[in-house]
Amino acid sequence: MEPVFAIGGPELGRRNDFIKQLRSRCASEWNGEPEDHRLYAHETPVPALLDLLMNGSLFSPGKFVQYLGADQVKAKADVQAIVEYAKRPADSTVLVLVADGFGVDKAIEAAIPKDAKKVFWELSAQETGRWVREYFSGQGLSVDDDAVEAILELVENNTEALKVECSRLALFFPRGSSVGEDEVERYIAHNRAEDAFSLFDRMATGDFEQALETLAAIQAARDGSGVGLLAGLLWSFRRLSSLHAALADGQGFEQAARALRITRRSALASYDAARKRWPRGRCDRLIAFGVDVDARLRAMGQANERTLLELFVYACVVRREPLPLGRL
């Protein structure tokens, strides 16, 4: 088993399942439960991570360490330190570098074997629809086509979010019941959690007040870091940039969107609005601006997180152009 893995991508359910499988393999190969650590890059600096990795476990046969937000590691010294560790890893220790986006720094990636690098892409609408039907079938419930479509419209396109919402919905029905669209609207639509992707959807409409409300809801829930939230927004903008490139090459909107796995009706509507609000040049300038905001977030920690994120939303929705960050 490889001692260092690098994983990323937006399909959180399969990504988390893969991590669980790695941990189970460790327990099997080590003949005992590993010592678990789940660290965040914005909270645990690389030197502290390496100290943990190099110090053996006193009470377990090995260590299983997840380092979340690993794509935040950009400082040359930190990158080199992880590269050196990957070349000479500690015994009976597995490090899983988990990226909020698609991967870690290229130098780190180059130091990790191909089989230990994985990107978990979004499932297609057909695949997620099949997943929903199979989930409810496993709970002893049936679900009609309209209900499946409603679930896919309301829930983020990853099996982790789908599992949470479908399990919550299943609690309301005895085995043998049938779930319809009305039940989905009643139990899911009014309890939908906000995230970077729903924030992008709000921003694409041009409604600044609604976008700010969504941002505030995400921050109030404290679901992840500001860096992680911005990473999700930049992922959506980079996807939009790829859509613009495909359109410039002569592809039709639906063909280009399908190639980028933008298949759901709500997602198609969102990206159609986004491409009109942010033409290619503006989109690319806002991505560059987002990278600058990301650097400020990493340097300042949580000190000015809310202000920086609100400035990014304002620049995208109202100005539709980058803003000078000045001395902030």
User: What CATH number is associated with residue 243?
Assistant: 1.20.272.10
Q: Note whether residue 20 is domain-resident.
A: yes
Could you tell me if residue 211 is inside a domain?
yes
Residues 36 and 86 occupy one common structural domain: yes
pLDDT of residue 13 exceeding 90: no
* 137 and 167 assigned to the same domain: yes
The rounded mean pLDDT for the chain is 90
Residue pair 286/315 in contact by the 8 Å Cβ criterion: yes
* In-domain check, residue 325: no
275 and 209 both lie in a single domain: yes
CATH label of the domain that carries residue 175:
1.10.8.60
Task: Mark which of 191, 213, 232 sits at the end of a domain.
Answer: 191
Residue 145 lies in a domain: yes
Flag whether pLDDT at 9 surpasses 80: yes
206 and 254, same domain (yes or no):
yes
Number of domains in the chain: 3
One domain, residues 109 and 150: no
Q: 219 or 191: whose pLDDT is higher? A: 219
DSSP 8-state class, residue 73: -
**Is 172 inside a domain boundary?**
yes
| Whether residue 53 is found in the same domain as residue 158 | no
pLDDT at residue 222 in the model: 64
Q: Are the CB atoms for 197 and 154 separated by under 8 Å? A: no
pLDDT at 240: 95
Name the domain boundary from 142, 173, 191: 191
Q: Do the domain assignments include residue 328?
A: no
| Last-in-domain residue among 119, 145, 174 | 119
pLDDT given for residue 5 in this prediction: 96
Residue at 304 is within a domain = yes
List all residues 6 or more positions away from 250 whose beta carbon is below 8 Å from its beta carbon: none
The pLDDT assigned to 328 comes to 57
Within this chain, do residues 285 and 179 fall inside the same structural domain, yes or no?
A: no
pLDDT of the residue at 191: 60
Residue 30 has pLDDT above 90, yes or no: yes
Sorting pLDDT into bands at 50, 70 and 90, what band is 205? very high
Q: What is the mean pLDDT of residues 42-54?
A: 93
The most distant pair of C-alpha atoms in the chain lies apart, rounded to whole Å, by: 62
The whole-angstrom separation of Cα 218 and Cα 38 is 22
Please report, in angstroms and rounded to a whole number, the separation of the first and last CA atoms in the chain.
46
| CB neighbours of residue 151 within 10 Å | 24
> What pLDDT digit, counting tens, does each position of 277-323 carry?
999 999 999 999 999 998 888 887 677 888 999 999 999 999 999 99
Using CA atoms, how far residue 197 sits from 114, 122, 146, in Å, is 29, 13, 23
- Tell me, yes or no, whether 201 and 306 share the same domain: yes
Q: Which two structure tokens, joined as six digits, stand for 287?
A: 């991505």
**Upper half-sphere CA count for residue 191 (Cβ side, 13 Å):** 13
The boundaries of the domain holding residue 86 are: 4-119
For residue range 261-280, list pLDDT tens digits in order. Answer: 787 777 889 999 999 999 99
In a domain, 10, yes or no: yes
User: Residue 192: which pLDDT band, with cuts at 50, 70 and 90?
Assistant: low
Residues 177-194, mean pLDDT to the nearest whole number: 79
Mean pLDDT along residues 22-36: 95
Are residues 260 and 252 in contact, defined by beta-carbon separation less than 8 angstroms? Answer: no
Pair (16, 81) in one structural domain:
yes
The model's confidence at residue 193, banded by pLDDT at 50, 70 and 90, is low
- Concatenated DSSP letters for 219-234? HHHT-S-HHHHHHHHH
Query: 7-16, 199-208, 217-226: which has the highest mean pLDDT?
Result: 199-208
Same domain, 54 and 67: yes
Residues 229 and 301 in one domain: yes
For the ranges 47-56, 67-76, 146-155, 286-295, which has the lowest average pLDDT? 146-155
| Judgement on whether residues 182 and 277 belong to the same structural domain of the protein | no
pLDDT digits (tens, 9 = 90+) for 88-142: 999 999 999 999 777 899 999 999 999 999 999 888 878 889 999 999 999 999 9
